[in-house]
């Protein structure tokens, strides 16, 4: 059993889309989980569907959505305070040192983050790279394992089969609940999923299949 799991992603909703099922499994086992969220996603283009946010109100709305989702998932939340869509331009060494200090305080046995260069969004790639660098800089005797999540269309062709494939079917409803806490972002993208039980069975199965596994690569610090 893990001692403590730390999830490091840049945006509110990354934790729900990316790892909510795995997080729920850890919490069911009694494992503490802490989410280090890089930004408030304040530069996001989605403003709700129908629109209920604007550029001025979006940061606070997304902050409250994040808090709500973390309450649903029963995780500790630490907001890192970086600016959305600028992480690729920050000093990576400084971010890595910031993360290292937090990790050394928490002393997790596992860190979950994005796989650099295989995570689509520049913020995902940048914070994933900084998180992995932070762990690399730690004392090897106290270094947690890292699960890196790849989400590019071609990651399987390049990286091969993931090392960790978590069947989160049992936590599907919890994952969807967490996703829909982020209403400003999810309502448009996944509006039809809000009432999965009322959709045609074929569509239900397709949705559940897409969201029934969470996959990660174990980062090798020896290379």
Sign of the CA dihedral with 1 first, then 79, 47, and 69 last? positive
pLDDT > 70 in the chain, percent: 91
For residue 204, how many other CB atoms are within 10 A of its CB? Answer: 14
Q: Omega of the bond prior to 50 within 30 degrees of 0, cis?
A: yes
Q: What is the pLDDT of residue 20?
A: 98
pTM of the model: 0.94
Q: What is the pLDDT of residue 208?
A: 75
Task: Using alpha carbons, list the distances in angstroms from residue 31 to 2, 23, 55.
Answer: 6, 9, 37
Q: What is the pLDDT of residues 189-206, one digit of tens each?
A: 565 555 555 555 665 676
Q: What is the pLDDT of residue 201?
A: 63
Q: What is the pLDDT of residue 52?
A: 84
* Cα distance between residue 195 and residue 137, in whole Å: 45
* Cα distance between residue 72 and residue 78, in whole Å: 15
Three-class SS state of 19: helix
List, in order of start, the domains of the chain with CATH numbers: 5-218 (3.40.50.10320)
| Ranges under pLDDT 70 in the chain | 188-204, 206
Element (H, E) at 110: strand 110-114
Alpha helices in the chain (DSSP H): 14-28, 58-73, 92-106, 122-137, 155-159, 172-181, 183-189, 201-210
């Amino acid at each position: 059993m893990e001692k403590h799991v730390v999830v490091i992603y840049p945006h509110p909703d990354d934790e729900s889309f990316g790892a909510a099922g795995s997080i729920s499994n850890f919490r069911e086992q009694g494992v503490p989980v802490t989410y280090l969220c890089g930004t408030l996603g304040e530069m996001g283009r989605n403003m709700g569907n129908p629109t209920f946010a604007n550029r001025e109100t979006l940061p606070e709305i997304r902050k409250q959505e994040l808090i709500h989702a973390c309450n649903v998932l029963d995780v500790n939340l630490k907001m890192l305070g970086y600016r959305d869509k600028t992480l690729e331009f920050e000093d990576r060494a400084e971010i890595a040192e910031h993360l290292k200090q937090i990790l050394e305080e928490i002393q997790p046995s596992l860190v979950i983050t994005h796989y650099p260069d295989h995570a689509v969004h520049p913020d995902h790639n940048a914070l994933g790279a900084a998180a992995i660098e932070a762990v690399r800089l730690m004392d090897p005797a106290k270094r947690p394992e890292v699960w890196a999540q790849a989400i590019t269309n071609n990651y399987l062709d390049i990286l091969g089969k993931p090392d960790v494939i978590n069947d989160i079917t049992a936590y599907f409803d919890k994952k969807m609940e967490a996703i829909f806490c982020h209403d400003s972002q999810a309502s448009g993208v996944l509006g039809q999923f809000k009432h999965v039980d009322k959709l045609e069975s074929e569509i239900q199965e397709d949705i559940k299949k897409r969201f029934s596994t969470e996959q990660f690569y174990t980062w090798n610090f020896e290379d």
